[in-house]
Structure 1
Amino acid sequence: MVTRHRDHTRKEKSYTDGTVRYDSRRRAFFAVPVSHRDALGEPAWRAAMSEEFAALRHTNTWVLVPRPPGVNIVSCKWIFKTKHCPDGSVDKHKARLVARGFTQQHGIDYRDTFTP
């Protein structure tokens, strides 16, 4: 029996449900930076980082304070994501500064938790 795979006559799959499929080769050019040092070298990522930091300071969710003695420091990490339009073009560069809260210990660094 001769199949399409053996005959090398593969047919591209056509989608009829209306969803948009992206070509993975087109996105290879829009790689996200691995570290904040790589991101600072590009103006688009630098602008995204400054926008995120300004938003954190505006909402008073990030404040630099002196380290209290005997308390673990909660470090932060930058997360980078490239947002795309449905046609595959770049919509915007998104940068998030997230706290690495897994370094805290209950009873030492905090006593209770709060969820609004």
Structure 2
Amino acid sequence: MMAERLLPIPEAARILGVPTESLRRAADCHGKTIRIGRAVRLHPKDLEELIELCRVPQKEPVFTSAKIPANGSSSTARSSAERARQTAERLRRSSRATSSTEDAQPVPLSLTR
């Protein structure tokens, strides 16, 4: 049985064209790091899988009330905006004032630190 040569992190980073520390963190996070004593290595076959694990999924488009999706679902955009307004109003009503206006006294600037 002939085992493949394990790659040191700096060599694997050079192959992938990424910073060494970024590759080390990603490999640790996804369980692809091989530690033997103080040596930290990556298996060459794990590099492709590590790249897939680090792939960022495509983001959903964001719609505002001014922009309506091309598929004509303006009701979805409106209902989302309405839910946001309702939530903001609930938060405003539920938050208490930190000080009453009757007790508020202006402080001269010369007395502040």
Q: Shorter-chain-normalised TM-score: which range?
A: under 0.3
Q: Which has the higher contact order (CA 8 A, sep 6+)?
A: 1
Q: What's the TM-score, normalizing by structure 1?
A: 0.26
The structure with the greater share of residues assigned to strand is: 1
Q: What's the TM-score, normalizing by structure 2?
A: 0.26
The structure with the greater share of residues assigned to helix is: 2
